[in-house]
Amino acid sequence: MMRGDEAHFNLFDYFLGDKRLSRIGDATAIHWRGEPISYNRLREETDHWTERLSREGISEGDGVAILLADSPEFIAAFLATVRAGAIAVLINTFLAAEETRFILNDSGARLLITEPPMNSKSAADLQTIIVDREKKDSTAGRGSESAITTGRTPAFLLYTSGSTGVSKGVLHLHRSIPVTVENYSRHILRLTPEDRVYSSSRLFFAYGLGNSLSFPLAEGSSVILDSERPTPQRIARMFEEESPSVFFAVPAVYNALLEFHRAGNSLNVSSLRLCISAGEALPSRVFEDWKQEFGFGILDGIGSTEMLHIFISNREGEAVAGSSGKVVEGYEAKLTGDAGEPVTEGEPGGLWIRGESATAGYWNLADVTERTIQGGWVKTGDVYRCDEQGYFFHIGRSDDCFKVSGLWVSPVEVESVLVEHEAVSEAAVVPSVDEAGLATARAWVVIRKGEEDEAMKESLLAYMRERLPRYKAPSQIEFIRELPRTSTGKVQRFRLRTGG
């Protein structure tokens, strides 16, 4: 995929090298607080950060932690770090102080770049730069040559906890980003310089990093950045004022936007040509409702921090509701049974992916790396089935699926049936036991309209018994105001398990 892994290659040059800027330098790279920032300006900002990093003594192989809201400074600090051959450590700004310190410590970062209020989560003994957006540091950056790196030089670390809790550093090389551009962006997004992309998922998340940095900046398009919380009101305002053509979000955000629109608020989608969903399965109901409400579909695709971005995706004009789509060019997928044997067509199996954007391994966790990456294949932890046309259907995380009457229940499948009920906004299904101590399914339900009473419970139980085989239909219902989610938008089913 990437030609010449051994040749000089640096991500900074890929995005902001002199040759490239002589062509596209005046074009807008970033829309920030209503103002355009050109590629040339972004280069100046990156030169400035290069200077600051060198003053702090940062050099090849050093870790530079970035704990910033989405902003031009985030992108400039990231590109300056990789330019120096150092490793950018991207930190989720929503984490508690304790988790933040864990990452600072685990990564061995030498420097932290942060801003209020996140700076309160930094470690006292760590060299720190606190960004003050209102007061510009006026040091002109002279920039410098990029460090001598290749496609295989470490470039950045992303921490992922999946949906289960423990934080692992996922190491990516310089080549990972161009590979995701060539595989996913070129084939699925097909961006042009006219495109204005906007992602409600942040830059520190692999999804957001691709959406708001790799793809628009690799194609000479522009990105709309925002540091405010992406509530439906805020997103509606961004649609109205910034006219994005491509929008990226997680399913919970699409669901919230639909609710917002149904409540009578205006949502101007007229500038959009493409809506992308990832992070967890997009329920068919959300896909269908969006299509009905706005006249165009949402492309669901599955990605992971380990593969950096999306490797199975729907395509325009071929999207299938309830499916993650087909394998993206440049990737290979296989489904295996418990013993690693390939499953027969149409049968569920554990999903493994191979491709050049795969992580080089988990930071300080050689044993986990060895278990997860085998012969270039990366284990995703997901259970999927694939139909004869090559469409993949998500059955669940292997650790979320459970057995009732000895048969496997997929929470995702049951939840997608539940949300078709007119009273239900969202649902999460977990294992439980009945009065007799037998395994059963319990549904946690967020009600959109109607009463949270016994009559509603009875109606939902009857609804599921009509539509699902007996063992899959939950026998227990609990109402909840909001589902527990990770800050990247995934339902934390384990937190709803009894005793969990």
Interface residue list for ligand 3UK (CB under 6 A):
160, 162, 206-207, 278-281, 300-305, 309-310, 324, 380-382, 394, 397, 488
Please, what is the minimum distance in Å from the beta carbon of residue 129 to ligand 3UK?
27
C-alpha to C-alpha distance for 324 and 109, rounded to whole angstroms: 36
C-alpha to C-alpha distance for 98 and 290, rounded to whole angstroms: 39
Q: What angle do CA 273, 384, 188 make, to 5 degrees?
A: 20
Question: Whose Cβ is closer to ligand 3UK: residue 78's or residue 463's?
Answer: 78
C-alpha to C-alpha distance for 292 and 261, rounded to whole angstroms: 12
Residue nearest to ligand 3UK (CB): 303
How buried is 294 (Cβ within 10 angstroms: 0-12 exposed, 13-18 middle, 19+ buried)? middle
C-alpha to C-alpha distance for 483 and 495, rounded to whole angstroms: 10
Question: Whose Cβ is closer to ligand 3UK: residue 50's or residue 314's?
Answer: 314
Question: Whose Cβ is closer to ligand 3UK: residue 51's or residue 382's?
Answer: 382
How buried is 222 (Cβ within 10 angstroms: 0-12 exposed, 13-18 middle, 19+ buried)? buried
Question: Whose Cβ is closer to ligand 3UK: residue 37's or residue 298's?
Answer: 298
Please, what is the minimum distance in Å from the beta carbon of residue 314 to ligand 3UK?
9
Please, what is the minimum distance in Å from the beta carbon of residue 418 to ligand 3UK?
17
Question: Whose Cβ is closer to ligand 3UK: residue 46's or residue 214's?
Answer: 214
Question: Whose Cβ is closer to ligand 3UK: residue 82's or residue 401's?
Answer: 401
Query: What tokens does 315 get?
Result: 């395509």
**Residue 282 Cα distances to 50, 278, 314, 426, 461, angstroms:** 40, 7, 11, 12, 23
How many C-beta atoms lie closer than 10 Å to residue 341's C-beta?
9
Question: Whose Cβ is closer to ligand 3UK: residue 476's or residue 487's?
Answer: 487
Question: Whose Cβ is closer to ligand 3UK: residue 66's or residue 460's?
Answer: 66
Please, what is the minimum distance in Å from the beta carbon of residue 279 to ligand 3UK?
4
What DSSP assignment string belongs to 53-84? Answer: HHHTT--TT-EEEEE--SSHHHHHHHHHHHHT
**Which residues are paired to 408 by β-bridges?**
403
Please, what is the minimum distance in Å from the beta carbon of residue 277 to ligand 3UK?
6
Please, what is the minimum distance in Å from the beta carbon of residue 478 to ligand 3UK?
24
Please, what is the minimum distance in Å from the beta carbon of residue 408 to ligand 3UK?
16
Element (H, E) at 253: helix 251-262
Please, what is the minimum distance in Å from the beta carbon of residue 300 to ligand 3UK?
5
